[in-house]
Amino acid sequence: MSRISTAFFGVAVLYAIAGMVLGMVMGASQDFAMRPLHAHINLLGWAGLAIMGAFYGIAGARASSRLAWTVFAVSNLGNLLTLAMVYKISSGQPPIAPVLVAGEILIVAGMALFGVSVLLAGHKTAAAA
């Protein structure tokens, strides 16, 4: 498996563990105020990054390494900023609007860059056929 695929899966597993632990804490305390955070951790962190890691594992050399690492960095930074603000919102505090907006923009930018990566890898495959 490539280093980039391993990086995506490694971080995805950390998000999955965080989401599971948060779910266990909510269940044990019967306080479900952090449901939005739990959902965002699982979807943005675990599912999103694992799918990206799977793609880079399958695409291999057809995917641009530099672009893949950019997707990794942008997506993770966006996730961390957004999750911090979702935590504030879920705990009844107002979010820091510029941080929330920056995180959301980075998440969308990461997905757009991932889309470019998919298209470029597909183009390389079609050109080789």
pLDDT of 25-60, one tens digit each? Answer: 999 999 999 999 999 999 999 999 999 999 999 998
Residue 118 is predicted with a pLDDT of 96
Work out the pLDDT band at 90, boundaries 50, 70, 90: very high
Work out the pLDDT band at 105, boundaries 50, 70, 90: very high
Tokens read off for 101: 């907006």
Side chain identity at residue 119, one-letter code: L
pTM of the model: 0.92
Side chain identity at residue 67, one-letter code: L
Contacts of 47 (CB under 8 A, 6+ apart): 12
Contacts of 96 (CB under 8 A, 6+ apart): 85, 88
Q: Is the C-alpha dihedral spanning 55, 59, 61, 65 positive or negative?
A: negative
> Is residue 81's pLDDT more than 80?
yes
In degrees and rounded to multiples of 5, residue 72 shows phi and psi of -60, -50
